[in-house]
């Protein structure tokens, strides 16, 4: 029993991503974070409903918040197109085995980081909206994720992880585009794959 090693351990706990983000992703994957659905099931939800605060269209479960919410769909669609990743799985519990194994091998390392950054930043955006009433737009979220990915890649520029460098120019271009967009106006760029948040 003591020799049993989780097959995910080989790639999941790589150092590129900060430990707290790895841990959060692990908990989300195991459906152990305190979504409104989870709080309601424990009788601890202080809100009158467990509806997603970002879209008000469904119960806030891990699958809804990180995969199916309008904000999540836009971000997944964007990075899928940008980095040749698959569309997201139907359920978060599929992401680190079935979904990951379907990603092109040369895109798996960057795909791992994209998943972790998307999940982490959606959670922060959700908390910002819930606790600070800060409205979150997809392009601002994409910008944050671009910055995070470039920071992580810059720490992994040597050794076997250097293949991540191949993706950095693509992400840098994305960052420059969204930087201009955020600084230039408050409008939300039109993205395919889902409606923009809070624009009807
Ligand atoms: Zn939602």
For 35-62, write each residue's pLDDT tens digit.
999 998 888 877 778 899 999 999 999 9
In the prediction, which pLDDT does 176 show? 85
The residues, ordered by sequence, that sit 6+ positions from 75 with a Cβ below 8 Å of its Cβ are: 118, 121, 122, 138, 141, 142, 145
38 CA to centre of ligand 1 in angstroms: 15
- Indicate the pTM of the whole model: 0.85
Mean pLDDT of the chain: 84
Calculate how far, in angstroms, residue 75's C-alpha sits from the geometric centre of ligand 1: 13
Could you tell me the distance, in angstroms and rounded to a whole number, from the CA of residue 116 to the centre of ligand 1? 19
Burial 153-189 (b: 16+ CB within 10 A, else e): beebeeeebeebeebbeebeebbeebeebbeeeeebb
pLDDT value for 177: 83
57 CA to centre of ligand 1 in angstroms: 6
Ion ligand 1 neighbours (CB, 5 A) are 52, 54-55, 69
Nearest CA among 26, 192, 181 for reference residue 96: 26
């Amino acid at each position: 029993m003591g020799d049993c090693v989780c097959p995910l351990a080989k790639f999941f706990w790589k150092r590129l991503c900060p430990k707290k983000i790895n841990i959060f992703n692990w908990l989300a994957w195991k459906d152990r974070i305190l979504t409104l659905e989870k709080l309601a099931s424990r009788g601890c939800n202080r809100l009158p409903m467990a509806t997603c605060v970002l879209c008000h269209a469904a119960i806030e479960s891990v699958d809804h918040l990180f995969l199916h919410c309008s904000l999540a769909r836009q971000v997944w669609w964007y990075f899928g197109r940008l980095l040749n990743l698959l569309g997201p799985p139907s359920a978060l519990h599929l992401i680190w085995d079935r979904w990951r194994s379907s990603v092109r091998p040369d895109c798996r390392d960057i795909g791992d980081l994209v998943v972790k950054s998307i999940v982490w930043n959606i959670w922060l955006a959700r908390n910002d909206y819930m606790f600070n009433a800060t409205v979150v737009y997809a392009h601002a979220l994409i910008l944050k994720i671009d910055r995070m990915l470039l920071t992580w890649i810059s720490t992994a520029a040597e050794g076997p992880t250097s293949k991540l460098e191949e993706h950095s120019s693509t992400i840098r271009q994305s960052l420059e585009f969204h930087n201009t967009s955020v600084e230039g106006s408050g409008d939300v760029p039109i993205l395919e794959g889902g409606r923009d948040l809070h624009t009807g």
